[in-house]
A and B are shown apart, each in its own frame.
Chain A
Amino acid sequence: MKRRTFLAGTAATAGLAASGAAFAADVTKAAYIYVGPVGDMGYNYQHDLGRKEMEKALGAKVKASIVENVPEGADAERVLTQLALSGNNIIFATSFGYMDAVLNVAKKFPKVKFEHATGYKRADNVATYSARFYEGRAVIGTIAGRMTKTNKIGYIASFPIPEVIQGINAAYIHAKKVNPKVEFKIVWVSTWADPAKEADAANALIEQGVDVIMQHTDTTAAMTVAEKKGVFAFGQSSNMAAAGPKAQLTAIVDEWGPYYTDRVKAVMDGTWKSMDTWGGIAAGMVTFAPFNKDMPEAVAKEANDLIATIKSGAYKPFTGPLNKQDGSVWLKDGEVADDGVIAGLNFYVQGIVGDIPK
């Protein structure tokens, strides 16, 4: 308790000094912390591309810095404090596990704006943002259902958080819709980025007869395996065609640039507010890498049509009739899942075999 009050005092002076410095130089300082290396060619790489896009858009008025490979927990809190102390005006924490650290530090630095990706806790100076990745999953699920010959689709999952479960459900529902014989094999690797584990999982899936692989992990390891073994795969977060020019059917590409530009600009203009942003295909936050040229015309058209209906708002990926895995009704015919339920999704839909790790 004493610690809090002590820090609040010193932080207030530090915060004042920071804002004073910012006015003097007329430069807004933005900082980013990443859970993995920016060289992962996936999730973190894509956030860093967004950062670069923001810097390009705002030019000399902004000065951005990054800290990569920051473990979630005590280290995150230290690095966030360090960034606040060194006078940053806005700090983007790009991994779910930074949530409590962000809130703790934000309390001590009320003048600094914090942005937390994929989290759900907000404060006056903490906004949250995420993308509706599951909309992209619906599209790649459709493609996977059409492209598989063995009717077995592999899924490399990271952690059983709602974002990942949304993706599995969305992909399964839409694969099943175009191919009723389809079967999902899900491997939980308990990591966001571990090339060795991801490659092992891909190999194990291929041995079980899987011929299309999806992943919710950050590196290109599975794509590399898919290329070597001659099966298809989907890039995650970023265009991974370089790792699998023949294997990649398409990739769900996260576009953070426009969001980062808007938010940093809002800080400059003094219009920044705490809010939750959850944009999908329509908002341009979820986009796709060019389709594989081996993908049949009809499949590409079907995928593009689905993208168009999701974009126009005419169709939502979680629309009834849908049952939960245990057979009970989740959504009645035509009923659309509300965002609250989707945001906390913690069950599989009917037809998926296996349990969510407990």
Chain B
Amino acid sequence: MFILEKRPNPSRFWTGATPVLAVVLTMIAGGLLFAALGKNPFEAIRTIFLDPLIGDNAWYYRAQLLVKAAPLVLIAIGLSLGFRAGIWNIGAEGQYILGAIFGAGVGLWFYPSQHWYIFPLMIIAGGFGGWLWAMIPAILKTRFGTNEILVSLMLVYVAKNLLASMAVGLMRNPEGSGFPGSRDLSAYPSAANLEIFAGTGIHWGVVAAVIAVIASYILLQRHMLGFQIRLTGQAPRAARFAGVKPERLVVFCMGMSGILAGLAGMFEVAGPAGKISIDFASGYGFTAIIVAFLGRLHPIGILLAGLLMALTYVGGDIAQSNIGLPSAAIQAFQGMLLFFLLAVDLLSNYRIRFNLKEAH
């Protein structure tokens, strides 16, 4: 028989290898699932993972991968800072919505005048909206000791109702025949978050995501604050002795994740989504939690994980129309990815030893 033995330090090799192993295991288990559904598993896996990259029309899908990955990466980077320090912001979806509402609000306020400064103001407003929403659980935690997981999660539902109210009330398009939804910001040049290079899918949200990845890398590796974040996560008591003020860290981490989620929402509402609508929020804030863990809370890992998740979405939709896979099977496939990742994570913290005595 074998036993699990805790490693004194997490294995460097397995920390890097487990995500790859998880993807391979997901492909095998997913392939079995697809085969059970009567589809050719190789064709299904190829459609999901390769068609968006090198198949027909890949020029379009590659751009869409960036569009889909940008908000995930942006939000996940913010979340990873808190998660590393043991601060659990589960409400990024709400902060994403508030960022969109604030950003769109500024854009709609200036409509239809054209000024170069409208878009920059929207960016600031978007970040501010997300920050504001994240400050509620942060202040409640530091002042009254409430649980930030619950408060931030509950605020998602408040944000969703606020969004619905904006779409049918304050921000409703006056020329929209009474239908819910704001004006189309992507058709309003001063507020539109269009592609910077045509056909590449690179909009300002993609640029912001890349900047966030680099900044977070520098913060965590080279900066005192990054050290404090990592220390607090690994050894909270030691962090206290080292002079870390937990309240300030909570406010910083929640604030940063709120700002980045808010920015993601703002870039989305001004570009790909185009407008405030009742169901503008499509779960990026929650999917980003998966992305953060899939990327091992490491900036570069998150970048790759965001692209991988985007691939399963874009490829999943292609698989639906081209080979008739039901969307539930694709969701199960995405679920397997997280499951295997958490399962094989065991290998980086534990070593498998075969107990020879019992074998005899």
Q: Which residues of A contact B (CB under 8 A)?
A: 1-3, 5-7, 10, 14, 31, 37-39, 65-75, 77-79, 81-83, 85-86, 96-97, 100, 120, 159-162, 190-191, 343-346, 357-358
Q: A82-B57, A86-B321 are in contact. Are A73 and B278 (CB under 8 A)?
A: no
> Interface extent on B, as a size class?
35 or more
Number of residue pairs A-B, CB distance < 8 angstroms: 122
Distance, CA A160 to CA B177, complexed state (A)? 12
Is B194 an interface residue, CB under 8 A from the partner?
A: yes
Distance, CA A294 to CA B56, complexed state (A)? 58
Interchain Cβ contacts under 8 Å between A and B, 26 examples: A3-B198, A7-B199, A10-B60, A31-B321, A39-B328, A66-B320, A67-B321, A68-B327, A72-B279, A78-B67, A78-B68, A78-B317, A82-B61, A82-B321, A85-B60, A86-B56, A86-B57, A86-B321, A96-B179, A97-B277, A159-B164, A159-B278, A160-B168, A344-B178, A345-B178, A357-B164
Given A10-B59, A74-B272, A100-B274, list of 5 further CB < 8 A pairs?
A2-B195, A67-B320, A71-B279, A73-B279, A79-B317
A-B CB proximity, top 4 nearest: A74-B272, A358-B169, A71-B282, A346-B178
Q: A346-B178, A357-B164 are in contact. Are A73 and B57 (CB under 8 A)?
A: no
Return the contact of B198 from the options A6, A66, A81, A96 (Cβ within 8 A): A6
Is B322 an interface residue, CB under 8 A from the partner?
A: yes
> Do residues A65 and B324 form an inter-chain contact, with CB atoms below 8 A?
yes
Residue of B nearest to A356 (CB): B168
Which of B61, B179, B317, B328 has the most chain A CB atoms inside 10 A of its CB? B179
> Do residues B274 and A73 form an inter-chain contact, with CB atoms below 8 A?
yes
> Do residues B282 and A73 form an inter-chain contact, with CB atoms below 8 A?
yes
> Do residues B321 and A78 form an inter-chain contact, with CB atoms below 8 A?
no
Distance, CA A97 to CA B277, complexed state (A)? 8
Q: A73-B282, A75-B282 are in contact. Are A82 and B317 (CB under 8 A)?
A: yes
Residue of B nearest to A88 (CB): B321
Q: Which residues of B contact A (CB under 8 A)?
A: 56-57, 59-61, 64, 67-68, 160-161, 164-165, 168-169, 177-181, 184, 189, 194-195, 198-199, 268, 271-275, 277-280, 282-283, 313-314, 317-318, 320-322, 324, 326-328, 331
Residue of A nearest to B318 (CB): A82
Residue of A nearest to B320 (CB): A67
Distance, CA A161 to CA B313, complexed state (A)? 29
> Do residues A37 and B328 form an inter-chain contact, with CB atoms below 8 A?
yes
CB distance from B325 to the nearest CB of A (A): 10
Please give, as numbers and ranges, the residues of chain B lying within 8 Å of A68 by CB-CB distance. Answer: 320, 326-327
Return the contact of B57 from the options A38, A67, A75, A85 (Cβ within 8 A): A85
> Do residues B178 and A162 form an inter-chain contact, with CB atoms below 8 A?
yes
CB distance from B278 to the nearest CB of A (A): 6
Return the contact of B272 from the options A5, A69, A73, A358 (Cβ within 8 A): A73
Distance, CA A31 to CA B318, complexed state (A)? 12
Distance, CA A78 to CA B65, complexed state (A)? 10
> Do residues A70 and B317 form an inter-chain contact, with CB atoms below 8 A?
yes
Distance, CA A5 to CA B199, complexed state (A)? 10
Which of A1, A83, A159, A358 has the most chain B CB atoms inside 10 A of its CB? A159
Which of B68, B181, B321 has the most chain A CB atoms inside 10 A of its CB? B321
Return the contact of A86 from the options B178, B272, B322, B331 (Cβ within 8 A): B322
Q: A65-B321, A86-B57 are in contact. Are A74 and B273 (CB under 8 A)?
A: yes
Please give, as numbers and ranges, the residues of chain B lying within 8 Å of A190 by CB-CB distance. Answer: 160-161, 164, 278
Distance, CA A357 to CA B189, complexed state (A)? 31
Please give, as numbers and ranges, the residues of chain A lying within 8 Å of B318 by CB-CB distance. Answer: 82
> Do residues A120 and B177 form an inter-chain contact, with CB atoms below 8 A?
yes
Please give, as numbers and ranges, the residues of chain A lying within 8 Å of B326 by CB-CB distance. Answer: 37-38, 68
Return the contact of B327 from the options A37, A160, A345 (Cβ within 8 A): A37
Please give, as numbers and ranges, the residues of chain A lying within 8 Å of B177 by CB-CB distance. Answer: 120, 162, 343-344
Distance, CA A67 to CA B194, complexed state (A)? 26
CB distance from A187 to the nearest CB of B (A): 13
Distance, CA A120 to CA B275, complexed state (A)? 18
> Do residues B178 and A69 form an inter-chain contact, with CB atoms below 8 A?
no
CB distance from A347 to the nearest CB of B (A): 9
Which of A65, A190, A343, A346 has the most chain B CB atoms inside 10 A of its CB? A190
Please give, as numbers and ranges, the residues of chain A lying within 8 Å of B280 by CB-CB distance. Answer: 73
> Do residues A77 and B272 form an inter-chain contact, with CB atoms below 8 A?
yes
Return the contact of A159 from the options B180, B194, B328 (Cβ within 8 A): B180
Please give, as numbers and ranges, the residues of chain A lying within 8 Å of B321 by CB-CB distance. Answer: 31, 65-67, 79, 82-83, 86
Please give, as numbers and ranges, the residues of chain B lying within 8 Å of A71 by CB-CB distance. Answer: 279, 282-283
Distance, CA A21 to CA B321, complexed state (A)? 17
Residue of B nearest to A158 (CB): B278
Distance, CA A83 to CA B210, complexed state (A)? 30
Distance, CA A2 to CA B198, complexed state (A)? 6
Distance, CA A100 to CA B273, complexed state (A)? 10
Distance, CA A70 to CA B320, complexed state (A)? 11
Distance, CA A190 to CA B157, complexed state (A)? 11
Distance, CA A191 to CA B281, complexed state (A)? 12
